[in-house]
Each structure stands twice: as structure tokens, then as C-alpha cells.
Amino acid sequence: MTAKAATSASDSVSARAVAALSGVKSEPGITKPDEILVAENINRHFGGLVAVDVDRLSVQRGSITALIGPNGAGKTTFFNVLAGFDTPDAGTWRYENHELRNKAAYKIAQLGMVRTFQLTKVLAKMTVLENMRLGAQRQLGERILAAPFPFAWSGQEEQVTERALTLLRRFNLYEKKDDFAGTMSGGQRKLLEMARALMTDPTMIMLDEPMAGVNPALTQSLLGHIKELREEGLTVLFIEHDMDAVRDISDWVVVMAQGRIIAEGPPASVMRDKAVIDAYLGAHHDEELTKSGESLTQNKKAKST
Ligand SMILES: Nc1ncnc2c1ncn2[C@@H]1O[C@H](COP(=O)(O)OP(=O)(O)OP(=O)(O)O)[C@@H](O)[C@H]1O
Ligand SMILES: [Mg+2]
């Protein structure tokens, strides 16, 4: 396929995803026409606190879906469960045709679903390139039997490095490749995390507050990268507090409050939903709702960097 044909094919993937959502009712848990991820009856308690109590979440393939909600709503805990970093007290979820309950995070990543963290997990005392290489999975050289025979895996090592360098170029981090990751700004670390997650060539990426603590110029660049991922046919599920960013890039918005999904729908209508405004007001009653009540307060936190 030519580059042009590939572009128009992927354009139509994202265009189709968006068009398919236009006929979907704005109801919590509503089934999407082409689901890539479905979670049902997910429950996670911490002692007496119900952190997550989600009846149903369905994510449309090829879309950018935002997961929003006030602080402590259970968004990160829900991500942890879905991506295999935490075990729920109850619930089932599946990605494509794979049941994910009891699957470890690395297995889920191998199936094509990867996530990044609210607090970046780049390794400060390793170089940017080394961080990227860590993102590659199933490296032959890591298998005990193959390790003493470099000829068996050196070709693959080169491929991993090549992919790492390509991604670093794409994310404007190539010049930093030999720097310690600890010397980078908060925003650059967010970019590095996203680039590293792409080392495994996933089909779905889950981003936990990719814009938190990132300066405005880098925010634009991050938003551009996320849209590009959709153009390539990836599915994106991202947690975000910045409502301008949510409005700008999301095809669909899911709202959590007190562990539950209380609303979902296209960005403009969800942000006018009374239950959504009330949920934010309940948590931020001293903060301002933006112009004419049409959008939610922005809660830009600097806690992640
Ligand atoms: N390991 C834990 N032990 C005990 N309580 C926890 C734990 N992790 C999360 N919680 C609690 O669960 C609730 C949901 O937390 P979570 O971090 O999932 O919220 P969030 O929606 O991601 O919030 P934020 O927007 O601030 O990141 C909060 O009340 C939190 O204090
Ligand atoms: Mg969180």
C-alpha cells in the first residue's frame, strides 16, 4: 500500500469510528457499535471505601474516549484494574476476544492494550534511549536459554533500537536520547512515557492525565500526537482534567463520580449535563464553572511532575 493509500485508509478508520458514535445514545454503559473493550460489574473497595463500582463501560474501536470526573472519582483505580495493575473485588472485562480477569499487566500489554501513569514512571538514572528499550517486550535476549548466544538475538536488538529512535524522532526527543531521563522536564517525561508505551506497537493506549503539569506549548504537541494515534487506527482512552483538551480531541466522554459512571456522550452535550456539572460542583464548589455553564471547571493540577 502506498503512503497516501495508507493515510486515506486510516483516515477512514477514524472517520468511521466517529460517524458510528453519532448514532449512539448518551446513556451510561451504552454498547458501542464496534467495541474493543468492555467492562462489566467492576468493583474495587479499599476497606470501607468503594473506589470503583462500574456497571458497564464500552469503548468504541478507533475512537478517542475521555474519562473525566472529580478528584477521587476512581478513574486511576479503574485504569489500574483494566490494565492488570490491580485486582478488583468483582467484575469481568474483555479486550477484543480476550477475557482479561486474572491476566497480568504484561500479558495485557502483549495483547495490545498499554497504559501510561499519572505519576510518570520513567527511570531517572537511565538514558532516554534505555528507557525506550525497556518498553520493548518479548525480547529474545531476555530469555534465559537464548541469552548466552548473542547471534540469536542481536538482530532483534537492532530492531528494538531502530524502533526506539524512530519514536524518539517522532516525539521530538531524539536530541535527548543519551541524556538521563531524570534531567528532562515534566512535559518531556510525559512524552517519553507515551513514546515508550508505543514500543510494543499496541492497538489501544490508555493515558492517565497526559497533560498534567505540562506547559501550554508541549500540551499542543501532546494533543497533536494523540490525534495522530487515532489517525493510525489506534484506540485511545485517556483521563484528563483539562476540559479544553477534552473538548478538543475527544470523540466521546465518559464521566465518573464516586466510583460510578454517571454520564457519557459526545463532549459538548456531556459538559452541559446537569448531573456532570453537579458532580464537579460537589467536589469543587468553590471553583468557577466556565462561560454560561456550558463547560466544566478546569482542574489543572501540578501534582504529577
Ligand atoms: N491503594 C489505595 N488504598 C486506599 N485507598 C485508595 C487507594 N488507591 C486509591 N484509593 C482511594 O480510592 C479513591 C479513588 O482514587 P483514584 O486515585 O482512583 O481517583 P482519581 O479519580 O484517579 O482521582 P484524581 O483525579 O485525583 O487522580 C480515592 O478516595 C482514593 O483515596
Ligand atoms: Mg487519578
pLDDT tens digits along 260-301: 999 999 999 998 888 888 888 665 544 444 433 334 444 444
Q: pLDDT exceeding 90 applies to what percent of the chain?
A: 60
Mean pLDDT, range 188-192, rounded to an integer: 91
**Cα of 119 from ligand 2 centre, angstroms:** 9
**Cα of 5 from ligand 1 centre, angstroms:** 45
| In contact, 298 and 286? CB cutoff 8 Å | no
Amino acid at 154: S
Q: Looking at the CA of 67, which ligand is closest?
A: 1
pLDDT confidence bin for 74, thresholds 50/70/90: very high
**Closest residue by Cα to residue 202 from 118, 284, 113, 293:** 113
Look-up: residue for cell 470523540? 251
Nearest-CA residue for ligand 1 atom 28 is 72
CA distances from 86 to 14, 223, 297 (A): 31, 28, 30
Q: What is the pLDDT of residue 35?
A: 96
* DSSP 8-class letter at 127: B
**Cα of 118 from ligand 2 centre, angstroms:** 6
From 46, 68, 301, 303, mutation site for ligand 1 pocket: most ligand atoms within 8 A of C-beta? 46
Domain-by-domain residue ranges, the chain? 3-122+202-293, 125-183
| Residue 264, beta-bridge partner list | 254
- Identify the three-state secondary structure at position 81: helix
| Residue 37, beta-bridge partner list | 59, 95
β-strands 98-99, 35-46 pairing: unpaired
Q: Is the CB of 49 under 6 A from ligand 1?
A: yes
Count CB-CB contacts under 10 A for residue 32.
20
Nearest-CA residue for ligand 1 atom 11 is 51
Judge whether residue 178 has pLDDT over 70. Answer: yes
- Rounded to the nearest 5°, which phi and psi values hold at 17? -60, -45
48 contact partners, CB below 8 Å, separation of at least 6: none
Q: Is the CB of 63 under 6 A from ligand 1?
A: no
From 77, 206, 284, 305, mutation site for ligand 1 pocket: most ligand atoms within 8 A of C-beta? 77
**Closest residue by Cα to residue 120 from 182, 172, 203, 39:** 182
pLDDT confidence bin for 302, thresholds 50/70/90: very low
pLDDT tens profile 79-95: 999 999 999 999 999 99
Cα gap 55→38, rounded to integer Å: 11
β-strands 35-46, 90-95 pairing: antiparallel
pLDDT tens profile 1-32: 444 444 455 556 667 777 889 889 999 999 99
CA distances from 241 to 71, 77, 253 (A): 9, 16, 12
Q: What is the pLDDT of residue 152?
A: 53
**Cα of 190 from ligand 2 centre, angstroms:** 15
Judge whether residue 140 has pLDDT over 50. Answer: no
**Cα of 10 from ligand 2 centre, angstroms:** 31
| In contact, 237 and 174? CB cutoff 8 Å | no
Nearest-CA residue for ligand 1 atom 26 is 71
Q: Looking at the CA of 72, which ligand is closest?
A: 1
Q: What is the pLDDT of residue 117?
A: 86
pLDDT confidence bin for 153, thresholds 50/70/90: low
Q: Which of these CATH numbers, 3.30.1330.40, 3.30.70.2860, 3.40.50.300, 2.102.10.10, describes 3-122+202-293?
A: 3.40.50.300
The beta-strand segments (E) located in 117-229 are 204-208
* DSSP 8-class letter at 32: P
The cell for 75 is: 478513574
**Cα of 144 from ligand 2 centre, angstroms:** 37
Q: Is the CB of 77 under 6 A from ligand 1?
A: yes
